[in-house]
Chain A
Amino acid sequence: MDISRPTMEVATASATALIGAVVCYGALQNGISWADGAPQPGYFPFYIGCLIIFGSAVTAVQTLIRRDGETGAFLDGARLRTVAAFFLPIVGFTLISGFLGLYIGMAIYVFYAMLTAAKFRLHNAALTALVVVVVNFVIFEKLFTVPLLKGPVLEYFGIY
């Protein structure tokens, strides 16, 4: 499964153009004209949105015209898997942190990453996870007194 660079260029330009359209639509809701001698709140964002669409359109057209130029691969299957294997656990980390708090989230994430990506042994991975949690707890809760999200489990044990 290879994704070619021109394909990705056009896809990205379409995505940015879509964002531009959303910005224009949102600006229209605020009003883009002049009222009482002053621009309405949507005036400035509307033109920003138009410029995004303009820039995206030119980029897409340039890619399509210069088809012969850059035809290299953007991403091949193996690389896509590497990136996904790194990114998906971070999504999991964020998801778990939302429910159980950042400390439990980071413990599970570090444990998993050390076990699979870094190929640590079970007890070494667990130890690393513990060290990361303790170091972060000391830095944020004690040194800088910036509380991180605790979640229900830590609160149950009386750690705020």
Chain B
Amino acid sequence: MGNFGQLMDGFAVALTAHHVLIMIVGVLLGLVVGVLPGLGAPNGVSLLLPLTFTMDPISAIILLTSMYWGALFGGSTTSILFNIPGEPSSVATTFDGYPMAKQGQAVRALSLAFSSAGIGALTGVIVITLLSGWVAQFAMRFGAAEYFAVYFMAFASFIGMAGGSPFKTLVAMMLGFAAATVGMDTISGESRLTFEFDELIGGISFLIAVIGLFGLGELLLTMEEGLKFEGVKAKLDLRTIFRTVAEVPRYWATLVRSALIGCWMGITPGGPTAASFMSYALGRRFSRRGRHFGKGEPEGIIAPETADHSAGSCALLPMLALGIPGSATSAVMMGGLMIWGLSPGPMLFTTQPDFVWGLIASMYMGNIIAVVLVLATVPLFAYILKAPFTVVGPMITVVCVIGAYTVASHTFDIWLALLFGLAGYVFKKLDYPLAPFVLAMVLGDKAEDAFRQAMLTSDGSPAIFFSNGLVSTMMGLGIFLLLLPAITALAGRIRSGAHKAEAA
């Protein structure tokens, strides 16, 4: 019951007037970020991060996580009302949300989305509350080799479970590692890959990469596609909201299944986007009304929304307990933790219990605040989105350029961000995944340090990665995940071969 007592202490930290105010501000900023296409959660958090350097860490992380909740909720609003996902993870919500809104049931669609999202998020937070302390305690036994094995497993699962080409995932991830090695080497003090450029000695900040890849890259893509908002009018009346919320428990099977998918995909680095798509696909297969999916089915909204939000919150569990983020946004937050002078990982639970449990408690509050605020602000954001994108686009650009500058007050960083923007645009069009890049950039140094320290203790023998049961199991799992695309391809070939044999 130790966790429960600590959670109560956490509520004492989170429930001060100051912190509740920060949550409200964070959620509102997050809603703006989530609603506007071209500004996503990872980018929004990166832009806000430099402004939190002077705040104390607990207030700063509450601000950033609240912004994250707001962005997750805001993304669903535009999906339903405008058929334009504000976030990549709310793409699956457009499949049934927009058709339902078009049938004149916009309020029902929104209420369904927000209440199931709230349930998903709370499930995620409860999982964090129950498991994080335990995972952290387990991880206390880790040495350098075990840490490298965990990193290896995380990266291997990206390659193994990627939807697209595993080789593109590999390239994106390794480019991230390469970008992380630029600058001063932490162990030897030599400068690496700087090629005599003074600007590169300090390294490339992952914040610049995120602002370029996710911010400017997304803007270019949105501009190219010639965005037009064709909104559905939504008039909120409380009766419909309450009736819809009462309707939600009927879909308990979908809720449970989607929340489980979300938690799993959030803890393993699958991320909210993959979770919502997978949940939608499974929902269609298992539902009795599966044939009607895509025409405005309630379950078609509940499935992706629940999974999206439970994955979004669960992604913070490995970040806190192991120091390995489960999504691009939590990678950025982890970078923030390091900048504030905290080292994420199991030690955080013993050295900074106030911080950890304050944060977990704030997740309960933040999500409740987000549900209320998102319902209250629907008319406002529907109004904002009437502005043409030719006006909104340049405003977002200004925010991105300023954001790139504020990271370290270097104009060189703005050029880098522009370069990353072009790269992000091309990569997105060619289906290169961007999350592994960011993850590798944040974790690159730590993974390399773990690798080099492990090799130092073993005098250069890679046998250390198979020296005990724990580390061998993790390395074995990692290798299995790496080979997964090859295994499935082989299995598919054998099966089709068998079919041919039968036919003949």
Contacts and interface: CB of A to CB of B under 8 A. Distances in A.
B393 interface: yes
Interface in A72-108: 74-75, 79, 82-83, 86-87, 89-91, 93-94, 97-98, 102, 106
B224 interface: yes
A149 interface: yes
A48 interface: yes
A25 B223 CA distance: 37
B171 A52 contact: yes
Range, interface on chain A: 35 or more
Contacts of A160: none
A62 interface: yes
Given A62-B165, A90-B401, A48 B394 contact: no
Given A30-B190, A109-B398, A146-B406, A118 B174 contact: no
A9 B398 contact: no
Contacts of B415: 94
Given A12-B430, A90-B418, A97-B414, A83 B220 contact: yes
B452 interface: yes
A140 B181 contact: no
B216 A90 contact: yes
Interface string B286-301: 0000000000000000
Contact of B170 (A49, A55, A79): A55
B167 A62 contact: yes
B418 A44 contact: no
A19 interface: yes
Contacts of A5: 430
Nearest to A57: B167
A98 B409 CA distance: 11
Contacts of A87: 220, 421-422
A118 B224 CA distance: 15
Interface in A21-71: 22-23, 26-27, 30, 34, 37-45, 48-49, 51-52, 54-56, 58-59, 62
Contacts of B181: 23, 44-45, 48
B451 A44 contact: yes
Nearest to A94: B414
A90 B192 CA distance: 30
B292 to A, nearest CB: 31
Interface stretch (B201-209, B239-247, B331-339, B453-461): B453-461
A148 interface: yes
Given A37-B456, A59-B168, A86-B220, A26 B192 contact: yes
B174 A55 contact: yes
B192 to A, nearest CB: 6
A48 to B, nearest CB: 5
A82 B401 contact: no
A93 B395 CA distance: 13
B50 A146 contact: yes
Interface string B180-192: 0100010110101
Nearest to B225: A79
B411 A56 contact: no
A31 to B, nearest CB: 9
Given A23-B193, A38-B460, 7 more contacts: A12-B432, A37-B460, A45-B192, A48-B181, A59-B167, A89-B394, A132-B398
* 4 cross-chain pairs, A with B, having the tightest CB-CB distances, nearest first: A113-B394, A55-B171, A55-B170, A26-B193
11 contacts: A8-B430, A27-B193, A37-B456, A41-B192, A42-B192, A43-B452, A44-B451, A75-B429, A86-B219, A91-B418, A148-B405
